Amino acid sequence: MESYKLQVNDCQLKIYSVKPEISETAILFLHGGPGSGAKAIMELSAFQTLSQEFHCIYFDQRGSGLSEYDLRNGLSIETITNDVLQIVASIKERWGIQNLFLWGGSFGGCLASLCLERFAEQFCGVILSSPAITFYREEALEFYNLMKKPYTHRFNDSVIKTFKTLDDATPEEFFSIPQVRQFVYSDLNPSQSLRHICAMSSWFYQHSFENMIKNIETPTLIMQGKDDRICQYQYIDNQIIKYNNPNIEYYLYDQCGHEVFIDKESEFIYNMEQFIRRVISC
What confidence score (pLDDT) does residue 153 get? Answer: 66
Contact 59, 14 (CB under 8 A): yes
What confidence score (pLDDT) does residue 130 get? Answer: 98
What confidence score (pLDDT) does residue 27 get? Answer: 99
Does the global pTM surpass 0.75? yes
| All domains of the chain in start order, with CATH | 2-135+210-281 (3.40.50.1820), 137-199 (no CATH)
Instruction: Render pLDDT for 201-219 as a digit per residue (tens, 0 to 9).
Output: 999 999 999 999 999 999 9
Instruction: Render pLDDT for 221-256 as a digit per residue (tens, 0 to 9).
Output: 999 999 999 999 999 999 999 999 999 999 999 999
What confidence score (pLDDT) does residue 17 get? Answer: 97
Spans of the chain, pLDDT less than 70: 150-167
